[in-house]
């Protein structure tokens, strides 16, 4: 019973010992470190790399320029590729002409250039920097331009706050965006730039994690630094310092290459995926290193433009949609520097462009035929040079010549955008087609501005109404009398009135009246009534005569309407490429042309014709209708009355509706094209900073750096000590006991026997001597044991 009790206790203590050892091992494995945060306030700190990335990566002016449009590939593009493209489209011609071009070179040239995007730069120490100080930084999402990229000599700052900021004035070049319906080159991101803040040794996979800066604002970007130092292990890798003087140059170069491979592991993984899917390589383009850094050295050729847009772009889009987190095997450096930034948005300063104090007078128009032979560059240069600027030496951001260069580039790009962008092309073509349809309709209706295309209202009524043409001939004597009225004085009118009042008694020797008043005194109220009837009859005959008389209507339109031919001529020159859109818009916005479109066109054309129909016909008919009782009372034949009320009025009303409808279409087309579309285009051509510029100020928030360091809280020696204490507590064993147990197990194991056999085969003599000695020692030992046993 005592044996079993001790056996149970021994087994129990062994289990408790192993349980405690396992618990200590788990604590060592799961909670091995503690993070200590130390804030340091040095006198100077290394400034990070600042990279500026334009959200748009394809420039309109280069893609539509002669260099790429006139390029001829070494061989024809594949048939399946040509079938997908439209050779008449300018952007599809880019793909056809450059399909065999190196993709890296194509992307580099198509991206925004540093000399045009970085227009002003000021370092934290107050000195000026130039666009040449920026270096290309390739990411999977596009090209960036970075400053302060030298890891051996980074820029040092001695202060924090806006006074020690890197100040950049960036031209977003919004006018270079491609808004056309082209799936390969169309701009997909919003206008603006991304600002990346990274360490000199970092290789970013994309610029999507940067701070977004839209155009039209000043963006203050303060940041604070955090240096992380992890314990080496499975979660991170350690790189020894390449600045160690004791190491050879070969070792330093090898360590630098290993560091770049590890820090650029994510980009290399995606480039490897490109090689796997597309059977071509983009490593030399994106990593800017020799081809021997590629795992597939010798197997992949550089991707051309066709392979990039057909395959590589889809892989990069797949990576972007996944947030560039498709690969999780890349190691993390044990020592890194993080930059945490935020934004403070303000308005742009008002002194980016010098103020214009005078502008060349372009409001006059030469009536002669203009020389619009496509010399837009000289026209733009002359116009820009005609502007005089007010320069303030203490408050001047850009030089006048720099402003002229920027404006000229913007106008060239906007001109190409208006000529090649589908929505603008389609909209302009539809406006011009609507204008031409309205003009052709007016000409077909014979309401044109030229005399050979114009038919007056009186002639129209004569053609359309047979009675209108017959009435003057039927009553020729009446119309002749009305056309040549006999002059009458006061006495004659009085005698006529007297004869009307006397009737048949006018021959009984009544004294003739000398004045109207005498007749009124003689006949009283009857004279007043008859006098009014005489006036109404005179008015009635005058109205009827004016209704049928050609002198009452417009026969010829004014000669100033021939300017409409100039309008159509300018449209034809624009469509034929003989005139730029800007020149066309400026010509249509001159003072003379605006006066014609806004006043002359209506006063000398529309209003004249409408007045003939409304005032000379419809109003006259209405006044005749008011005198209908008198008209019927004094009419012997009613043909003229029927013609006036049934024919002339109805036909004129119909003509008026048709003309006003056609003229409304013309007015609408002229308004949309010349008072909305082209003025808006000219307004866009007035290049302003709010649509294209952004100012970026990057600076340290405080002059400190935080060191986040991991230190072991439970070292391996503490783990061994805890194991030893556990064994001493439960088993009364020490390290020597463990060694003895291990030796005993090893001495009686097959491993020991295998080692003995191996030694015997290798040296039989030494092994035999050892065995003889061992046997003799064993015999002596046995004899001693026996002797001692006998003695006992």
What would the pLDDT profile of 692-743 be if each residue is shown by its tens digit?
889 999 999 999 898 888 877 776 777 778 777 777 777 777 767 777 777 7
- For residue 156, what pLDDT is reported? 92
Please compute the mean of the pLDDT values over residues 627-639 and round it to a whole number: 56
Q: What is the pLDDT of residue 168?
A: 94
Whether 767 shows a pLDDT value over 80: the answer reads no
Per the CB < 8 A criterion, the answer to whether 141 and 194 are in contact is no
Q: Is residue 307 part of a domain?
A: no
Identify the weakest region by mean pLDDT among 199-213, 244-258, 484-498, 614-628: 244-258
pLDDT at 483: 66
Max intra-chain CA distance, the chain: 209
Type and span of the H or E element at 144: strand 142-147
Q: How far is CA 367 from the centre of its chain?
A: 39
For position 792, what pLDDT does the model report?
26
CATH of the domain at 208: 2.60.470.10
706 and 610, same structural domain?
no
Average pLDDT over residues 511-534: 68
In whole angstroms, what is the distance from residue 401 CA to residue 399 CA?
A: 5
111 phi and psi angles, rounded to 5 deg: -75, 165
The yes-or-no verdict on residue 244 having pLDDT over 90 is no
Per-residue pLDDT at 124 = 92
More confident call, 668 vs 495: 668
Which whole-number Å values give the CA distances from 369 to 432, 558, 563, 566, in the listed order? 21, 21, 12, 9
Phi then psi dihedrals of residue 362, to 5 deg: -105, 20
- Rounded alpha-carbon distances, angstroms, from residue 678 to 408, 663, 668, 674: 19, 21, 14, 6
Using DSSP, how many helices (H) and how many strands (E) does the chain show? 36, 19
Segment 757-766 mean pLDDT: 65
Q: How far apart are CA 280 and CA 16, in angstroms?
A: 62
Asked whether residue 358 carries a pLDDT value surpassing 60, the answer given is no
Shared domain check, 625 and 573: yes
On whether residue 736 sits in a domain, the answer given is yes
Phi and psi of 37, rounded to 5°? -110, 125
Q: Assign 691 a pLDDT band (cuts: 50, 70, 90).
A: confident
Please state, for a pLDDT cut of 90, what percent of the chain lies above it.
Answer: 17
The pLDDT of residue 509 is above 60: no
Q: How many CB atoms lie within 10 A of CB 138?
A: 20
| Mean pLDDT, the chain, whole residue set | 77
- Specify the pLDDT at position 650: 85
Please report the pLDDT score of residue 371 as a whole number: 45
Domain annotation covers residue 47: yes
Cα-based distances in Å from 639 to 111, 474, 631, 635: 83, 10, 12, 10
CA distance 609 to 457: 7
Question: What are the distances in angstroms from CA 712 to CA 154, 236, 725?
Answer: 32, 15, 21
Instruction: Note whether 15 and 161 are same-domain residues.
Output: no
Q: What ranges in 171-323 are assigned the alpha helix state H?
A: 249-263, 265-278, 283-286, 305-307, 313-321
Mean pLDDT value across residues 301-315: 90
Q: Are residues 455 and 542 in the same domain?
A: no
Clarify whether residues 461 and 568 are in a common domain: yes
677 lies in the same domain as 719: no
- The reply to whether 498 and 624 lie within a common domain is no
Q: Region 462-484: what's the mean pLDDT?
A: 73
Closest CA to 304 of 128, 101, 485, 145: 101
In the prediction, which pLDDT does 681 show? 82
Q: Which long-range contacts (CB under 8 A, 24 or more apart) does 284-291 make?
A: 284/104, 285/102, 285/103, 285/104, 285/105, 285/107, 285/108, 285/138, 286/104, 286/138, 286/139, 286/140, 287/138, 288/136, 288/138, 289/260
The two tokens of residue 2 are 């005592």
pLDDT of residue 787: 36
- Assess contact for 230 and 338: CB atoms under 8 A: no
Q: Tell me: the pLDDT tens digits for 246-283?
A: 455 555 555 555 555 556 788 888 888 888 899 998 88
Taking CA atoms, 49 is separated from 115, 202, 203, in Å, by: 19, 9, 11
CATH number at residue 736: 1.10.287.770
Residue 663 within any structural domain of the chain: yes
**Of 396, 413, 409, the residue nearest 120 (C-alpha):** 396
Per-residue model confidence (pLDDT) at position 683: 78
- 78 vs 239 pLDDT, higher one: 78
Question: What's the pLDDT at 51?
Answer: 95
pLDDT at 373 over 50: no
Q: Which residues fall within 8 angstroms of residue 580, CB to CB, at 6 or more apart?
A: 372, 374, 376, 415, 574
- Of the CA atoms within 13 Å of residue 232, those in its CB half-sphere come to 4
Rounded to whole angstroms, the Cα distance separating 639 from 674 reads 50
The pair phi, psi for residue 274, each rounded to 5°, is -60, -45
Q: Identify whether 407 is part of a domain.
A: no
**pLDDT band at residue 202 under the 50/70/90 scheme:** confident
Inside any domain, residue 300: no
Q: Are residues 540 and 614 in the same domain?
A: no
Query: Per-residue pLDDT for 34 more than 90?
Result: no
**Whether 319 contacts 140, CB under 8 Å:** yes
The residue segments making up the domain with residue 166 are 35-56+113-229+336-353+690-712
Mean pLDDT of 606-626: 82
What DSSP assignment string belongs to 541-584?
HHHHHHHH-GGGS--S--GGGGHHHHHHHHHHHHHTTSS-HHHH
b/e string for 506-522 if b means 16 or more Cβ within 10 A?
Answer: eeeeeeebeebebbbee
Which is more confidently placed, 196 or 38? 196
Let me know if residue 224 belongs to a domain.
yes
Q: How confident is the model at residue 213 (pLDDT cuts 50, 70, 90)?
A: very high
Question: Which of 344-353, 620-629, 634-643 comes out lowest in average pLDDT?
Answer: 634-643
Band (166; pLDDT cuts 50, 70, 90): very high
Give helix 457-464 / helix 466-474 axis angle, nearest 10°.
100
How far, in whole angstroms, is CA 234 from its chain's centroid?
45
What is the end-to-end Cα distance of the chain in Å, rounded?
A: 31
Buried-state track 262-276, b at ≥16 Cβ within 10 A, e below 16: bbbbbbbbbbbbbbe
Tokens 């030893």 identify what position?
Answer: 724
* Cα–Cα distance for residue pair 114/193, rounded to 1 Å: 13
Q: What is the DSSP letter of 176?
A: G
- Count the domains in the chain: 4
pLDDT of 198: 92
DSSP 8-state code for residue 387:
-
In degrees, to the nearest 5, what angle opens at C-alpha 373 toward C-alphas 368 and 379?
85
User: Is the Cβ–Cβ distance between 307 and 98 less than 8 Å?
Assistant: no
**Which contacts of 458-466 are long-range, i.e. CB under 8 A and separated by 24 or more positions?**
458/550, 458/552, 458/553, 458/612, 460/655, 461/617, 461/648, 461/651, 461/652, 464/651, 465/643, 465/647, 465/648, 465/651
Which of 8-12, 227-231, 541-545, 701-705 ranks highest by mean pLDDT? 701-705
Is the pLDDT at 54 greater than 90? The verdict is yes
Identify whether residues 462 and 348 lie together within a single domain: no
Cα–Cα distances in Å, from 722 out to 28, 31, 480, 719?
11, 15, 139, 5
Give the pLDDT confidence score for residue 9 in this predicted structure.
79
Same domain as 177, residue 124: yes
Residue 590 predicted with pLDDT over 80: yes
* pTM (2 d.p.): 0.68
User: What's the pLDDT at 721?
Assistant: 80
Q: What is the mean pLDDT of residues 145-162?
A: 91
Same-domain check for residues 526 and 570: no
Q: Are 648 and 547 in contact (CB under 8 A)?
A: yes
Is the pLDDT at 377 greater than 60? The verdict is no
**Helix (H) / strand (E) containing 51:** strand 49-54
Residue 436 tokens, joined = 């031409």
Q: How many of the other CB atoms lie within 10 Å of CB of 384?
A: 16
Distance of alpha carbon 167 from alpha carbon 766, whole angstroms: 85
Residue 383 has pLDDT above 90, yes or no: no
The verdict on residue 247 lying in a domain is no
460 and 495 within one domain: no
CA–CA separation, 552 vs 459, rounded Å?
A: 12
Mean pLDDT, residues 318-342 taken together? 80
Q: Which range, of 35-49, 318-332, 461-475, 630-644, averages the lowest pLDDT? A: 630-644
| pLDDT above 90 for 437 | yes
Q: Is the pLDDT of residue 295 over 50?
A: no
Q: Give the list of residues 6+ apart from residue 599 with CB closer than 8 angstroms, or none.
A: none
């Amino acid at each position: 019973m005592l044996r079993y009790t001790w056996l149970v206790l021994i087994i129990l203590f062994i289990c408790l010992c192993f349980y405690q050892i396992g618990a200590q091992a788990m604590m060592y494995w799961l909670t091995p470190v503690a993070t200590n945060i130390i804030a340091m306030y040095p006198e100077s700190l290394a400034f990070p790399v600042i990279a500026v990335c334009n959200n748009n990566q394809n420039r309109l002016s280069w893609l539509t320029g002669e260099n790429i449009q006139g390029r001829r590939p070494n061989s024809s593009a594949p048939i399946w590729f040509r079938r997908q493209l439209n050779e008449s489209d300018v952007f599809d011609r880019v793909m056809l002409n450059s399909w065999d071009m190196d993709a890296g070179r194509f992307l580099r040239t198509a991206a925004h250039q540093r000399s045009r995007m970085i227009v002003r730069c000021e370092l934290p120490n107050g000195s000026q920097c130039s666009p040449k100080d920026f270096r290309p930084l390739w990411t999977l999402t596009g090209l960036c331009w970075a400053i302060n990229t030298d890891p051996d000599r980074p820029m040092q700052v001695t202060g924090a706050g806006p006074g020690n900021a890197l100040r950049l004035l960036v031209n977003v070049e919004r006018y270079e965006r491609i808004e056309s319906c082209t799936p390969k080159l169309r701009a997909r991101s919003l206008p603006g730039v991304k600002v990346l803040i990274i360490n000199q040794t970092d290789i970013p996979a994309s610029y999507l994690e940067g701070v977004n800066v839209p155009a039209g604002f000043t963006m203050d970007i303060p940041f604070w630094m955090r240096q992380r130092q992890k314990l080496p292990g499975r979660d991170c890798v350690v790189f020894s310092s390449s600045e160690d003087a004791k190491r050879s140059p070969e070792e330093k170069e090898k360590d630098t290459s290993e560091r770049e491979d590890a820090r650029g592991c994510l980009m290399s993984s995606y480039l490897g995926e490109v090689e796997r899917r597309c059977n071509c390589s983009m490593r030399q383009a994106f990593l800017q290193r020799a081809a021997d850094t590629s795992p597939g050295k010798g197997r992949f050729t550089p991707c051309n433009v066709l392979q990039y847009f057909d395959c590589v772009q889809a892989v990069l889009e797949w990576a972007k949609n996944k947030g560039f987190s498709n690969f999780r095997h890349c190691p993390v450096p044990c020592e890194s520097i993080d930059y945490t930034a935020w934004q403070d948005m303000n308005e742009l300063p008002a002194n980016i462009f010098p103020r214009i104090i005078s502008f060349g007078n372009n409001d006059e128009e030469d009536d002669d035929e203009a020389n619009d032979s496509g010399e837009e560059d000289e026209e733009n240069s002359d116009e820009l040079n005609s502007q005089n600027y007010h320069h303030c030496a203490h408050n001047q951001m850009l030089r006048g010549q720099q402003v002229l260069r920027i404006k000229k580039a913007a106008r060239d790009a906007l001109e190409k955008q208006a000529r090649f962008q589908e929505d603008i092309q389609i909209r302009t073509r539809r406006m011009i087609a609507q204008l031409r349809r309205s003009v052709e309709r007016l000409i077909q209706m014979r309401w044109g501005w030229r005399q050979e295309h114009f038919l007056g209202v009186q002639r129209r009524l004569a053609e359309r109404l047979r009675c209108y043409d017959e009435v003057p001939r039927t009553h020729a004597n009446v119309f002749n009398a009305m056309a040549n009225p006999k002059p009458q004085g006061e006495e004659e009118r009085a005698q006529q009135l007297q004869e009307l009042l006397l009737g048949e008694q006018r021959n009984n020797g009544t004294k003739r009246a000398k004045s109207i008043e005498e007749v009124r005194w003689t006949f009283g109220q009857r004279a007043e009534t008859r006098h009014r009837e005489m006036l109404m009859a005179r008015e009635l005959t005058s109205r009827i005569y004016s209704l049928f008389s050609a002198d009452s209507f417009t026969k010829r339109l004014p000669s100033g309407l021939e300017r409409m031919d100039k309008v159509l001529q300018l449209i034809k020159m624009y469509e034929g490429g003989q005139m730029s859109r800007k020149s066309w818009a400026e010509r249509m916005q001159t003072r003379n042309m605006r006066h014609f479109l806004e006043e002359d066109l209506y006063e000398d054309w529309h209003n004249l014709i409408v007045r003939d129909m409304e005032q000379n016909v419809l109003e006259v008919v209405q006044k005749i209708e008011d005198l209908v009782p008198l008209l019927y009372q004094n009419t012997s034949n009613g043909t003229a009355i029927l013609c006036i009320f049934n024919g002339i009025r109805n036909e004129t009303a119909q003509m008026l509706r048709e003309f006003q409808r056609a003229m409304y279409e013309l007015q609408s087309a002229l308004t949309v094209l010349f008072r909305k579309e082209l003025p808006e285009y000219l307004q866009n051509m007035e290049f302003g900073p709010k649509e294209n510029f952004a100012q970026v100020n990057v600076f340290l928030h405080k002059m400190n750096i935080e060191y986040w360091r991991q230190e072991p809280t439970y070292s391996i020696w503490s783990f061994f000590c805890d194991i030893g204490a556990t064994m001493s507590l439960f088993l009364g064993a020490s390290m020597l006991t463990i060694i003895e147990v291990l030796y005993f197990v090893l001495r009686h194991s097959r491993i020991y026997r295998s080692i003995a056999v191996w030694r015997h085969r290798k040296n039989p003599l030494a092994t035999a001597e050892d065995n003889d000695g061992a046997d003799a020692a064993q015999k002596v030992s046995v004899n001693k044991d026996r002797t001692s046993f006998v003695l006992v």
